[in-house]
Amino acid sequence: MSTLAPSVGIIANPVSARDIRRVIANASNLQTADRVNIVLRLLSTLSELGVGKVFMMPDKSGMRPLLSRQLNRESQLGHGFPEVEYLDFPVTSTVEDTFRAARLMREAGVKAMIVLGGDGTHRAVARECGDIPIAGLSTGTNNAFPEMREPTLTAMAVALYATGKLSRAEALSGNKVIEISINHGERKDIAIVDAVISHERVIGARALWRPESLNALYLTFADPEVIGLSAIGGLLQPTTRESPDGLMIELASDPAKAQFNLRAPIAPGMMRDIPIANWAPLKAGVDYPVALDAGVVALDGEREMTFKPGEHVNVSLVSQAFFTVDVTRCLQLGAVNGLFRF
């Protein structure tokens, strides 16, 4: 068995929480220094619990030089950190950086990927991570998928799994995704929280936030304590991450024909009335054709795919599509089994 210390990947989206939804909702933005401080807490904790190397996604936002200065300063004070290696590829400052970083980390054999971002960032990692688990930290606009948690605790849980003190069965949870297929697989993509069908015909600004443009919602889970379009489902019919089903919601194009209006927080500080026509469970392994003739598909809050008249759009729910580190369960098992006793 190898004696090499295990490695972990950190993918920190340098521009999460900076889209139009936060501007119109008067929400705060996470600054570069704040992101660096989160990474420092992750690195310090991972080192204390036996993780020897961390791969980082490069960026052009100023995170790298600031982090390097902080690491040098902390090291001179005698504080320990894992070896930090930045992945080597040209930075585009687009989601392609996240895709590529996740692929390279997977190929490098990391035990887990810690992700700083919102639903869109986590979706991008989930597309490319394979069987490598994700540990999410909420730093985006819509944060239905990643949890709000002190980074130190997340790093503790990741380290228990990465160093082999907890098995996959003990440490990880499976997650559902929604698969969108256009023209029988000609174009495909996934959503980890919500796939939304909109009447709009062009991508335009990627963030989707106007309720009058919505036609239908397909949700992997529906939590009443989240912000974003999935909040509509959470306040209509709560559906857990562990449930075998998701939730689908049809919105009324004519508000006068709605069963009722549901008032939901579709962005921070932004409550809107949503005209509800019908809703039902979204069953795993069942194909659901989209009835709208033409429009846009938004995945986890951002417009991604357009479809024209005559094109066939299909939605399906897939179980156990990717895995996440269950932080709560890891810490409980770590305490019960004495894994923090040295």
What sign has the CA pseudo-torsion 164, 168, 170, 172? Answer: positive
32-38: average pLDDT: 93
Contact 10, 116 (CB under 8 A): yes
Beta carbons within 10 angstroms of residue 259's beta carbon: 11
Beta carbons within 10 angstroms of residue 75's beta carbon: 11
What pLDDT score was predicted for residue 18? Answer: 45
Thinking of the domain 7-174+322-336, which architecture would CATH place it in?
A: 3-Layer(aba) Sandwich (3.40)
Locate all alpha helices (DSSP H) within the chain, ordered by sequence: 20-24, 32-48, 63-76, 95-108, 119-128, 151-162, 168-171, 230-236, 327-336
CATH number for the domain formed by residue range(s) 176-320? 2.60.200.30
Kindly report the backbone phi and psi dihedral angles of residue 178, in degrees, each rounded to the nearest multiple of 5, phi listed first: -105, 125
What pLDDT score was predicted for residue 20? Answer: 47
The torsion region of residue 36 among left (phi > 0), alpha (psi -120 to 50) and beta comes to alpha
Residue 210: pLDDT band by 50, 70, 90 thresholds? confident
Q: Write b or e for each residue in 115-154: b if 16 or more Cβ atoms lie within 10 A of its Cβ, otherwise e.
A: bbbbbbbbbbbbbbbeebbbbbbbbbbbbbbbeeeebebb
Contact 8, 46 (CB under 8 A): yes
What pLDDT score was predicted for residue 206? Answer: 53
DSSP string covering 39-64, please?
HHHHHHHHHHTT--EEEE---SSSHH
What does the pLDDT look like over 310-324, one tens digit per residue?
999 999 999 999 999
What does the pLDDT look like over 213-257, one tens digit per residue?
899 999 999 999 998 899 999 999 999 999 999 999 999 988 889
- Which amino acid type is present at position 309? P
End-to-end CA distance of the chain: 23
Kindly report the backbone phi and psi dihedral angles of residue 86, in degrees, each rounded to the nearest multiple of 5, phi listed first: -85, 135
Pairwise CA distance, residues 311 & 190, whole Å: 18
What pLDDT score was predicted for residue 304? Answer: 87
The residue to which tokens 């948690």 are assigned: 149
More confident position, 185 or 28: 185
What does the pLDDT look like over 152-209, one tens digit per residue?
999 999 999 999 999 999 999 999 999 999 999 999 999 999 999 998 876 655 556 6
Q: Could you state, in order of their start, the residue ranges of all structural domains in the chain?
A: 7-174+322-336, 176-320
Q: What's 122's DSSP letter?
A: H
Kindly report the backbone phi and psi dihedral angles of residue 325, in degrees, each rounded to the nearest multiple of 5, phi listed first: -75, 120
Structural tokens at position 53? 């190397």
What pLDDT score was predicted for residue 2? Answer: 42
From 127, 144, 147, 235, select the one nearest 190 (Cα to Cα).
Answer: 127
Using CB atoms within 10 Å of the CB of residue 104, give its burial: 0 to 12 exposed, 13 to 18 middle, 19+ buried.
middle
Residue 211: pLDDT band by 50, 70, 90 thresholds? confident
Query: Is 81 in a helix, a strand, or coil?
Result: coil
- Which amino acid type is present at position 192? I
Q: What's 219's DSSP letter?
A: E
Contact 30, 146 (CB under 8 A): no
What pLDDT score was predicted for residue 78? Answer: 79
Most confident of 25-39, 111-125, 135-149: 111-125
What does the pLDDT look like over 10-19, one tens digit per residue?
999 987 544 4
Edge to edge, the sheet with strand 302-307 lists 260-267, 270-282, 246-251, 214-219, 194-198, 295-299, 302-307
Report the mean per-residue pLDDT for the chain. Answer: 91
Stretch (H or E) spanning 214: strand 214-219
Residue 22: pLDDT band by 50, 70, 90 thresholds? very low
Residue 142: pLDDT band by 50, 70, 90 thresholds? low
Residue 301: pLDDT band by 50, 70, 90 thresholds? confident
Most confident of 1-5, 73-77, 88-92, 269-273: 88-92
Which residues face 329 on adjacent strands?
none
* Same CATH fold assignment for domains 7-174+322-336 and 176-320: no
What pLDDT score was predicted for residue 340? Answer: 96
